[in-house]
Amino acid sequence: MENKNELKQLDFPATMKVNEQDHLEIAGVDTIDLANKYGTPLLIYDVATIRKNIQTYKEALKTYRQNAEISYASKAFASVAMYQVIKQENISIDVVSGGELYLAKQADFPAEKINFHGNNKSKAELEEALDYGIDHFIVDNFHELNMLRDLTDARQQPAKVVIRVTPGVDADTHKYIMTGQRDSKFGFDIQSGQAEEGVKIALETDYLQVEGIHMHIGSQIFDTETYLLAMKQVLKHVKYWEEAFAFQLKVFNIGGGFGIQHTPDEKETVFKQQLETISEGLMSLLDQYDLPYPELWIEPGRSIVGEAGTTIYEIGSYKELSGIRRYVSVDGGMSDNIRPAFYGAEYFGLLANRMTEQTKSEFSIAGKACESGDMLIWDLPLPEVNPGDKLAVFNTGDYTFVMASNYNRIPRPAVVFVEDGKDFLAIRRETPEDFMRFENHLPEDF
């Protein structure tokens, strides 16, 4: 098998290279040194790539002839250190729970740059967000709308809201990450009149300031046609609402969902071109419906952090089934990256300690959890592997650590940030001793 172990298989960041020891190096830091220092599995974030992706979005939004705002969808990866990086880059964030809001507060993230999402916000979460003075509530349903109305009335406290609608389009992505179709748990259905009723109720409420409309069609989307179709559906109704009850669209939040490349066979990342095309299309639609240009908001998450993340595993056991498959197991798996088992996500990897050695065979990378479905990568070309080798799995920055679990009581991994030759332990590795914070011994008289 020909040598494929070069940094040419994916659109790798410029900060990633093979050093003189034939090791993978990220941002001037040897990943094998990091693995020895912090252990494995280890999730490494290249901070320069995060910053570059944010700047790329800022450049792309210059196409739109009105104010625009980037709000990082922190469900992709949330931590205090991550929120601090986002604050340095001067963009907003979305939170979807009291837990994410708590972390943002610990990072001293400015309240005026926080937007609160979620389809089942509790009263306590709404109260905490009002206490902190966040910028916008993305209102998802009548239950939330009524709670927020009652809370703001009781407090006599104004709150800005954006109404989330489902435009009724099907995105070309996995059904688990589609959100814009009518049959969705998210948002007010626009086609049945739910959205119109929600807008009316919000407009008639004393302390709710209705800023605009939110839509989101799904995740890991590479086309632009679905965005354009969804925007057309929404703006058609907005035009009617403007004429019927003087609704003003000050903010149009088109969500996120821009796709990134995880494997050589997947489409290359093109979110800059996507957003430029979407901006041009939105302006054309606004002109068509004779609507003033609102602020354009976007909510990228995966496309900001996905390619910035690399997970390092240590290879352990080996099993060969002659004529069928060669398995190698790593010291992580679905406990730190549930996406392959959850919805068939695919990844690409190389041996971080032997980057340019010629590939000899294909190996299927198994996790250590007690599940047959705990497979990270099927049929990955690699050199002959040995126990102790380090496997780098690329573009794991999105929806991995935040979806990690303690299944089989496996501790969650450490997270390290690297930039300009420096490393920083952003999240320490869990230990079995940490489990005892929540455990109690059964009393003798039970």
370 is catalytic: yes
Q: Which of 370, 409, 431, 441 is catalytic?
A: 370
DSSP at 442: P
Q: Which of 184, 145, 185, 191 is nearest to 167 (CA)?
A: 191
Other CB atoms within 10 A of residue 101 CB:
23
Long-range contact pairs involving 141-144 (C-beta distance under 8 Å, separation at least 24): 141/187, 141/188, 141/198, 142/188, 142/194, 142/197, 142/198, 142/201, 144/120
Structure tokens of 222? 């590479």
Q: In Å, how far from its chain's centre is CA 157?
A: 32
Q: In angstroms, rounded to a whole number, what is the distance separating the alpha carbons of residues 209 and 362?
A: 58
Q: In angstroms, rounded to a whole number, what is the distance separating the alpha carbons of residues 398 and 3?
A: 29
Residue 95, strand partner residues: 116
Measuring CA to CA, how many Å separate 288 from each of 215, 280, 303? 20, 12, 30
DSSP per residue, 89-153: TT-EEEE-SHHHHHHHHHTT--GGGEEE--SS--HHHHHHHHHHT-SEEEE-SHHHHHHHHHHHH
**Residues taking part in catalysis:** 370
